[in-house]
Amino acid sequence: MAENRKEIIKDLTVGSVPKQLLTFAAPLIASGFLQTFYNMVDMLVVGHWVGTNGLAAVAIGGDVLHFLMFIALGMASAGQIIISQFIGAKLYEKVSHMIGTLFTFILSAAVVMTLVCFLLRYQILNFLNTPAEAFDYAYSYAVTCIFGLIFIYGYNLVSAILRGMGDSRHPFVFIAIASVLNIILDLLFVAVFHMGPFGAALATVIGQSVSFLCALGVLYRRRQELGFDFKWKSFGLKMDVFPSLIKLGIPLSIQSAAISLSMLFISRWINAYGAVHTTLYGVSRKIESVLNTVSQALSTSGGSMNGQCIGAEKYDRVPKVMWTIALFGSVIAIVMSIVTISAPEVLFGLFSDDAEVLGLCGIFVIPIVLNYLGAVLRPVMFSLINGSGNARLNLAVALLDGIIVRIGLAYWLGKTHGVIGYWYGAALAGLMPFVIGIIYYWSGKWRTNKYLIKNR
């Protein structure tokens, strides 16, 4: 069994750090770009075939979906980090226990979230100050995504298991399948059948569903290498690993929820200015998502690398991983900044031909570039914080970045500088994780504290 496991598990504690990071991150970046692209396709197709109200609806529905993902993102990320540390410490039996625990907890959470959010669907849209002219569109988009949550949660679950073992190639294949299918169905449902934002949401859900089922099939076929037999008795919450999952997963989920909730507040304040400003903000977030995709991939791959290194007590590799992340992210951020500053109308024009939208987009360039800066700095420190499994620090980041700073700063700047202030508040808050992370790095506690692995 140990030999079988070696076929799937990748050792990230040896070899060249830049090569290891690039090899691990490249499929994540590629899959992230595909996911970003097919999310953009929703807005591109709806923008050109439905108009500004449809774009506003997709932007609002996308905010709702992103918020509902907080449990999947937090718990899956925690499971990935814990699996990577178990592998570094060669605790393979606990890896299989974590797989069963993740399946049971995350898919149960998906069912609960679906029921709760469907019951609160009107209250959610009203809280976001959904413009009246876009309400019906936003309703159909959001409700469709709510009923697809179990597949979206499932995809994140399976991908996290594979990435924790050092396999980032298969998650790329899965998201590629979803991307191609989503693009085809978007054009079919919206451009041909004129199903509007509902068609765009349906295309997204179908794409994610097929992706999840393919991922599940691969995981099942490789069950011997994983040491997980997929029998009923193997599922359930295993108490030798569940406390670690909760200890790290709750702060990560709170972090994701806090940031998403703060973004909902900012969207609520901006939506009050009407569909044009809702569209501007939604399009800007799609543009920023290009670099955020790279940021997330570097954070995820760096977290797995640092998790294995810390589990194996190879501490000298950790700063090398962090510097490499900073270098890779900076190159892409510089290119993105040049394009955004030089041709904002071209970027926004990809999504909308509304003269008012294109006339206003130039004033939002600086906060977009500030978001690029945050996207470079955050993964450097998240790779350390998440890789070390420091639950308390993750909680501190969640509360400071997501609640106190982002909402507080955006509210203050919005009240004093108008709608542009909300943009600046959100952008500046994104720098907070770097400030917290650099203090943690200098403290050296990540070298000495065992947050997840007490007994080797």
Q: pLDDT digit string (tens) for 271-302? A: 888 888 888 888 888 888 778 878 878 887 78
Using 50, 70 and 90 to split pLDDT, how confident is the model at 455?
A: very low
> What is the C-alpha R_g of the chain?
21
Q: Of 72-76, 103-107, 169-173, 370-374, where does mean pLDDT reach its minimum?
A: 169-173
Distance of alpha carbon 210 from alpha carbon 213, whole angstroms: 5
pLDDT of residue 94: 78
Higher pLDDT, residue 387 or 128? 128
Q: Are 441 and 384 in contact (CB under 8 A)?
A: yes
Ramachandran class of 237: left when φ > 0, alpha when ψ lies in -120 to 50, beta otherwise: beta
In this predicted structure, the answer to whether residue 415 has a pLDDT above a threshold of 70 is yes
Which residue in this structure is represented by tokens 């403290």? 443
Q: Average pLDDT in the 153-166 region?
A: 81
Q: Is 305 exposed, middle or buried (0-12, 13-18, 19+ CB in 10 A)?
A: buried
Q: What DSSP character marks residue 396? A: H
Mean pLDDT of all residues in 315-325: 85
Average pLDDT over every residue of 378-394: 79
The predicted-structure confidence for 179-228, as pLDDT tens digits, reads as follows: 888 888 988 998 889 888 899 889 988 988 888 888 888 778 877 766 67
Q: What is the pLDDT of residues 323-362, one digit of tens each?
A: 888 888 888 889 989 999 998 888 888 887 888 888 888 8
- pLDDT for 396 equals 79
CA 384 to chain centre: 17
Helices 242-271 and 92-119: crossing angle in degrees, nearest 10, is 30
Indicate whether 111 pLDDT > 90.
yes
d(C-alpha 170, C-alpha 155), whole Å: 11
* Dihedral angle of Cα 144, 260, 116, 156, to the nearest 10 degrees: 70
3-state secondary structure of 194: coil
Instruction: Mean pLDDT check: name the lowest of 11-20, 115-124, 147-156, 308-317.
Output: 11-20
pLDDT of residue 5: 46
Share of the chain above pLDDT 70, in %: 90
φ/ψ of 229, rounded to 5, equals -90, -5
Amino acid at 406: R
> For all residues of the chain together, what is the average pLDDT?
81
**Which range has the top average pLDDT, 21-25, 28-32, 148-152, 223-227?**
148-152
**Is 223 within 8 Å of 229 (Cβ atoms)?**
yes
